[in-house]
Amino acid sequence: MRRELTDPTFHRKPLPAMEAQALILSHLIKMKCESVPLDQAVGRYLAEDLLAPHDLPHFARSGMDGYAVRSADLAGARTGMPIEFEVIEDIPCGAVPQKKIGSGQTARIMTGAMLPECADTVVMLEMVEVVGDRIRIIRELPLGRNVTEPGFEVRTEEKLLNQGTRIGPGEIALLATFGFAIVPVFTRPVVAVISTGDELLEVDAHLVPGKIRNSNRAMLQAQIELAGATALMMEPVGDILSSLVSAIDDAFLKADVVITTGGVSVGDRDVLVDWFGQWDGKMLFNKLKMRPGSPTTVGVKNHQMLFALSGNPGACFVGFELFVSPALRAMMGAVDRRFEDMEAVLTESFDKPNAFERYVRGCVSWNAGRLEARLAGVEQSSIVRTIAQANALLVIPAGVGLQAGQSIRFIPLRDWKGWA
């Protein structure tokens, strides 16, 4: 049946994007916890605070190759009046010293090696004259020079990492240093993706008139995995409401979050619009004060989220980055990622005012000591190429255009292509 302008579909109450994001986050619950081997923890989120089980370093160690001495024995050493020491031991890295350093004695020591008992200072090789099994030193050094004391970097019971920290290479190094072979993390949300539309072809299909390849499906799978969640790719469905409802019901049995693409606008074949009116879940909103993606609709049922995103690739991409990605991160215990307050200087004019706030695909980079922003290309929600070129979403306020040279707020995208 053809929709008329009197249809309630045309009279949705739009919600500002920031309010919509906050509303989504208020309905989420965190995932359960699990323990995984350290080599499987990259990209996961810590499920608890981690404390240091021991000092780092846990023994006094040398900061360089040289000779371990008692600093008091260096008193009076100067050019022309060297002080001579007997070398009683050679201490390689990883060895435990076997002898105590007495007055007038020293031990050859390597960088990172354990300091022998009674030694408190290390004299670098360049300051030493070797004479047989003895050395001469011509300079005084203060107590503790070139020595790293136990606990210098981290003390026992000191907090290493906070709950919700995403584990990257640096965190892996820290965890390994303190012996965390098993790491407590939040489980990954399973996100089901259902593409809708009679016009969709599989990626490997030959093009035919009137049809397009299903880029949203592949794009969303990548976005889900980059967000740290697990993608569950459901079979695409056509513009038949009963088929779509059945697919959604099936997805809710298998996933923590369900995403649909297409079917939420005001067209005659946008079948999700009518279904949401009789859904037994809670619809949080069905229109946003933003472009692209204003028809984006989100609902919740038994703490499971349903994101009905636009079928246009650009709008689908933006909807995921602004709403789905922060939701997935919050479910995994991450610090709430809302709109980030970063600014750059616009290098070209964007003088197309719109009644709604706009999130434009853009490129941000350093130039002459400042951040500069430009559009990634033609700004239309159906354009795919600019998704690949963009490293940020440029925020254009409602009702105005911006001129070159003006400051513009932007939201960096995850991979920051071209940022360095």
**pLDDT band with cut points at 50, 70 and 90 for residue 337:** low
What's the whole-model pTM score?
Answer: 0.85
pLDDT at 10: 45
Least reliable range by pLDDT among 84-88, 242-246, 253-257, 357-361: 242-246
Ramachandran category for residue 80: left, alpha or beta (phi over 0 → left; psi -120 to 50 → alpha): left
Q: Is the pLDDT of residue 210 over 90?
A: no
Higher pLDDT, 258 or 12: 258
Alpha helix (H) residue ranges in 146-286? 169-177, 215-226, 241-254, 272-276
CATH superfamily for domain 35-56+158-186: Molybdopterin biosynthesis moea protein, domain 2 (3.90.105.10)
CB atoms within 10 A of CB 171: 20
What residues contact 320, with CB distance under 8 A and at least 6 apart?
A: 220, 223, 259, 307, 309
C-alpha–C-alpha distance, residues 295 and 13, integer Å: 10
Which two tokens mark 326? Answer: 């922060």
**Four-way CATH pick for 8-31+188-331: 3.40.980.10, 3.40.50.1860, 3.30.390.30, 3.40.50.1000:** 3.40.980.10
Task: Give the pLDDT band (50/70/90) at residue 12.
Answer: low
Which helix (H) or strand (E) covers residue 19, if one does?
Answer: helix 17-26
pLDDT of 420 > 50? The answer is: no
Contact 191, 259 (CB under 8 A): yes
Task: Give yes or no for residue 319 having a pLDDT over 50.
Answer: yes
**Predicted local confidence at residue 415, as pLDDT:** 54
Q: Which two tokens stand for residue 215?
A: 């880029």
The two tokens of residue 285 are 């909103």
Count of CA atoms in the C-beta half-sphere (13 A) of 392 = 26
**DSSP 3-state assignment of 123?**
strand
Q: What are phi and psi of 321, to 5 degrees?
A: -65, -35
Write the pLDDT tens digit of every residue in 29-60.
999 999 999 999 999 999 999 999 999 999 99
What does the domain layout of the chain look like in residue ranges? 8-31+188-331, 35-56+158-186, 61-148, 342-412
Average pLDDT of the chain?
89
Q: How far apart are the first and last CA of the chain?
A: 53
What distances in angstroms separate CA 216 from CA 269, 318, 385, one per listed residue? 18, 12, 13
Residue 3 is predicted with a pLDDT of 44
Backbone φ, ψ for residue 137 (5° rounding) = -125, 135
Q: Using the predicted structure, report yes or no on whether residue 400 has a pLDDT greater than 80.
A: yes
| pLDDT exceeds cutoff 90 at 255 | yes
Assign domain 342-412 to a CATH class: mainly beta
**Residue 262, pLDDT score:** 83
CATH superfamily of 61-148: Molybdopterin biosynthesis moea protein, domain 3. (2.170.190.11)
Judged against a pLDDT cut of 90, whether residue 104 lies above it is answered with yes
Q: What is the mean predicted confidence (pLDDT) over 244-250?
A: 91
Confidence check: pLDDT of 191 > 90: yes
With cut-offs at 50, 70 and 90, classify the pLDDT of residue 384: confident
Greatest mean pLDDT range, 175-184, 195-204, 258-267, 305-314: 175-184
**pLDDT at res. 180:** 98
